[in-house]
Amino acid sequence: MSGGSSPSSRRNSFNSLSKDLDLPSEQGCLSIVVLGASGDLAKKKTFPALYHLFEQGFIQSGEVHIFGYARSNLSDDGLRERIRGYLKGAPEDLSEFLQLIKYVSGSYDTGEGFEKLNRAISEYEVSKSSGSYRRLFYLALPPSVYPSVCKMIRTYCMNPSSHPGWTRVIVEKPFGKDLDSAEELSAQLGELFEEHQLYRIDHYLGKELVQNLLVLRFANRLFLPLWNRDNIDNIQIVFREDFGTEGRGGYFDQYGIIRDIIQNHLLQVFCLVAMEKPVSLKPEHIRDEKVKVLQSVNPIKPEEVVLGQYDGYKDDPTVPDDSNTPTFASVVLRVHNERWEGVPFILKAGKALSSKKAEVRVQFKDVPGDIFRSKKQGRNEFVIRLQPSEAMYMKLTVKKPGLEMATEQSELDLSYGMRYQNVKIPEAYERLILDTIRGDQQHFVRRDELQAAWKIFTPLLHDIDDGKLKALPYEPGSRGPKEADELSARVGYVQTHGYIWVPPTLA
Amino acid sequence: MSGGSSESSPLSGQNSLSSLSISKDNELSSESGCLSIVVLGASGDLAKKKTFPALFHLFQQGFLQSGEVHIFGYARSNLSDDGLRERIRGYLKGASDEHLSQFLQLVKYVSGSYDRVEGFELLNKAISEYETSKNNDSGSYRRLFYLALPPSVYPSVCKMIRSYCMSPSSHTGWTRVIVEKPFGKDLNTAEELSAELGQLFQEEQLYRIDHYLGKELVQNLLVLRFANRLFLPLWNRDNIANVQIVFKEDFGTEGRGGYFDQYGIIRDIIQNHLLQVFCLVAMEKPVSLKPEHIRDEKVKVLQSVEPIKHEEVVIGQYDGYKDDPTVPDDSNTPTFASVVLRVHNERWEGVPFILKAGKALNSRKAEIRVQFKDAPGDIFRCKKQGRNEFVIRLQPSEAMYMKLTVKKPGLEMATEQSELDLSYGMRYNGVKIPEAYERLILDTIRGDQQHFVRRDELRAAWEIFTPLLHDIDGGKLRSVPYKPGTRGPQEADELSRRMGYVQTHGYVWVPPTLSKV
């Protein structure tokens, strides 16, 4: 992630932006508690995100304290030293930020630690005499401990009713392994917190171009007549990694690529691509539309699934020799509604492939009455490259420059690295934490959304777990099983051979 | 127009014309034998600056070959072959001495007047000597006459060509004549000229050049519109609010005011260049790429244009225009005009096409700007930020871009304008984009008339503009003064606004570049 730079209006940005965005501006105390503070996720993602928000003035010294909580026996300075290496930025900012951080040690399933935590938070709060008391708990923890930790928070650490304010809890995926376990987890957490207090993070929703999907689709007149089955032939949502499990095979093997990537990240992107226009930007309206399109998805057909497992995956001693866990999957979703019937959405993800990228590729139908004989040259596509190097482009047929009236493929493109050279594109986590502080849940997963998502994938996952569907072997560094390309071709994707999009640059 | 582009020889330099693959792909006949290219007006500016350089570029790229082509310059000046060669040498750029020398050896000169027989008999004799020297009984004799001349002499010159210089019927081949705009001053004069030329030549022998049709991105319009599925549902009144076709120059008449004053900006730019672009933007899909099918659709859309309303016209004249002593003090000739065309058909009714051109303005550019309607049910409150636009920048620096609303990068869900773009200078870095003239001359040699103006097309164009031009000439419409270096009369921007054009303030398209380069 790129290092930050302090914007000139750092101290004032929170309040002025609140006015612009019609979000309530809250004064008083904000306590941010990072549970699992000594773990990798907290060090690599959570604390850096908080630091970036601090640098940019979204959280301010006078209003915020940050508490790390974990089982490790650390002092305040011990925690600060442990995370310092993960925070990039100006020394004075860094020093000021670290002074906001305190550490509380305790276990995740007994009351003593949480009583200590509550006492530490309260001491901070009463040292301020006015305003609201807001408490944000970030669970950088494995989901197995979510229920007990939430019970403890509920019992010992809720914001006092003597002051206005709120308590909110951020939880990370995975939210269960299938419909039943997800529902069980939702029920447990649902007994403890109201839905508006729960923020289920899918960090993909915090990515710049994923967030842009709403704007692209609903603020641009030109997409209005295009975005339907009459014009679009197929859509691919792809996530590729060029590395394997790298020592975490045992953990991965409990989940597989569908639970790890497709059922959550790619399905969220699918929602934003396929959903109807929300009534407004209110989080509930947006998530209503997501749920609606998820509920329109037909059951997945086994013949429209290709699973793969890369050669060498089982060499990891923590992976069972008889593992059928897919490291690659290509799944076709069919939406049964007026807009999309007949248009396959191909969700594809894999590890140890030939490249690292994530993109949405919308392929348009062929030109009817083609007078240029350009069909062999390829179809129009609108591609959103989520990573690496955020970009979007429209693949077009143009006249080949020169003296011939020949056609070739070219593109209208927007490469963020070029167009927004001096603009810092935020990391997903800082964006989502800020949304939580503001109470904007549109980029978080709602309970019924989660249920609808698991309903789509649970039958398939059970069939895989039971061995009814087999993962096909593929070579590391390849495109994945060739059956996946066959599946895409079978459902209508037309590859444009000989054309590769090259980000614009000067020679 | 803009000067030449950088030149590098394509890989297939000497072989491209003869290549069967090209002829096969293009379904155009491949002809061998003699090709005689006659440039009438050979000593004039147009020939030196445009015609001979274009022929040279074609030669360099292998489309004209030494063994098959001879070039004859014809003018009244008393010159020798070498005299003509020396005169044009300075205008031929980007060549190795060897190439240049080879090309110049193909060029011969014949002196004669434009209205008497002797010169044309000499010319015919020179051509015939070349043709018979080939001793190629199986080949064709093809004769191309390029009239780099004022239109007033077209009739007499064409009469002479018809009488004395036609390709002999003893061999296969053809005679073709290229003529430059202006093709008349109004409907009557254009019809008169067409009739005179029509008596002498068949339509398929006449190639009326509008060099704008030879521009790379103008030619691309057909491909963009009809080879891209995504434009199919967009390109109509349901989605498009207005279209602007604009041509701006940041200089005035510069000493040629007297000549310009006989025509004005509408006859000089709008009635021909911009109207041709309008056709390509607005027309229906042709049956095929055959020239007749394309021009059928152009004529169809021209015939659908309603009479121009005075209240949808703004004409201007820049301050200082009449300072030129060759311009009459009472001149009403517009140096700026903004004209709204209304198309009465199913696709376009209600969509104004704003054709705008001017001299001595604040910038030099030519572009097509297709503005889409507002996004209905706007949930982002971004209407104040601007509408989608598809812009084709014809010059300078060919480019096209789609102006979009995107999320502003950062932590806010705010919107801003950005664009998906294709800048030819960047995307086709290293690719030579041909000049319009060389493209059109090659088309003539191949007999492809799609980029030339047909007689009925010309008539339809004049039918649209003649009433307006007569009203201007008759003083019924007055030119509004404007300052040089401005956008033109403010009334023109008011007209655009009235037509529904929504300007996006605070946004300026900047061609992509890396700052660290």
Chain A contact present for B418, CB below 8 A: yes
SS3 of residue A471 by DSSP:
coil
Interface contact flag, B230 A394, Cβ < 8 Å = yes
Chain A contact present for B411, CB below 8 A: yes
How many other C-beta atoms are found inside a 10 Å radius of the C-beta of residue A197?
16
Q: Which residues contact A338 (CB under 8 A, 6 or more apart)?
A: none
Q: What is the pLDDT of residue B358?
A: 97
Catalytic residue among B57, B70, B211, B273: B273
Say which range, A178-192, A425-439, B44-58, B134-148, has the weakest mean pLDDT: B134-148
CATH 3.30.360.10 assigned to domain B213-433+454-499? The reply is yes
Interfacial A residues in 310-339 facing B (CB < 8 Å): none
For the structural domain made of A205-427+446-491, what CATH number should be given?
A: 3.30.360.10
Q: Which pair of tokens denotes residue A501?
A: 């999009």
Closest of A247, A294, A254, A299 to residue A275, by C-alpha: A294
Backbone angles phi, psi at A232, to 5 degrees: -100, 135
Q: What is the pLDDT of residue B379?
A: 83
Q: Which residues contact B505 (CB under 8 A, 6 or more apart)?
A: none
User: Which of A5, A52, A396 should one mutate to test binding to chain B, selecting the residue with the greatest count of B CBs within 10 A?
Assistant: A396
Q: Which pair of tokens denotes residue B374?
A: 């507002």
Superfamily of segment(s) B33-180: NAD(P)-binding Rossmann-like Domain (3.40.50.720)
Nearest to A367 among B227, B238, B424 (CB): B227
Chain A contact present for B409, CB below 8 A: yes
Q: pLDDT over 70 for what percent of chain B?
A: 91
Chain A contact present for B26, CB below 8 A: yes
Residues of B with Cβ-Cβ distance to A426 under 8 angstroms: 409-411
Closest of B133, B127, B93, B128 to residue B108, by C-alpha: B127
Pairing of strands A64-70, A101-105: parallel
Q: Tell me how far apart the alpha carbons of residues B184 and B196 are, in angstroms, rounded to a whole number.
A: 12
Q: Which residues of A are catalytic?
A: 265
Residues of B with Cβ-Cβ distance to A431 under 8 angstroms: 411
Chain B residue with CA closest to A20: the answer is: B414
The answer to whether residue B7 scores a pLDDT higher than 60 is no
Q: Tell me how far apart the alpha carbons of residues B478 and B313 are, in angstroms, rounded to a whole number.
A: 10
Interfacial A residues in 219-278 facing B (CB < 8 Å): 219-222, 224-226, 230-231, 277-278
Summarised one tens digit per residue, pLDDT across range B167-205 is: 888 888 999 999 987 889 899 999 889 998 998 998 989
Strands of the sheet with A165-172, listed across from one edge: A101-105, A64-70, A28-35, A132-139, A165-172, A198-201, A444-445
Closest of B370, B374, B375 to residue B351, by C-alpha: B370
Interface contact flag, B239 A231, Cβ < 8 Å = no
Q: Tell me how far apart the alpha carbons of residues B44 and A101 are, in angstroms, rounded to a whole number.
A: 83
**Chain A with chain B: Cβ pairs closer than 8 A:** 219
Interface contact flag, B388 A20, Cβ < 8 Å = no
Chain B residue with CA closest to A418: the answer is: B514
Helices (H), A260-399: 267-274, 283-295
Nearest to A380 among B228, B426, B515 (CB): B228
Q: What is the pLDDT of residue B241?
A: 96
C-beta separation of A241 from B393 below 8 A: no
How far from B443 is each of B165, B219, B447, B448, B494, CA to CA, in Å? Answer: 21, 12, 6, 5, 41
A140, β-bridge pairs:
none
**What is the mean pLDDT for each group of 10 consecutive residues in chain A (507 residues)?**
38 41 61 93 90 86 89 90 86 88 91 90 80 90 91 90 90 88 92 91 84 87 90 94 86 91 93 93 88 94 94 92 94 93 95 92 89 72 86 86 80 81 78 87 88 94 91 94 92 82 63
B85 confidence band (pLDDT: 50, 70, 90): very high
Summarised one tens digit per residue, pLDDT across range B265-300 is: 999 999 998 999 999 999 999 988 888 898 899 998
Interface contact flag, B375 A405, Cβ < 8 Å = no
C-beta separation of B389 from B369 below 8 A: yes
Domain ranges of chain A: 21-172, 205-427+446-491
DSSP code, position B430: T
Fold of A21-172: Rossmann fold (3.40.50)
C-beta separation of A405 from B294 below 8 A: no
Summarised one tens digit per residue, pLDDT across range B213-268 is: 888 888 888 888 999 888 989 999 999 999 999 999 999 987 879 989 988 999 99
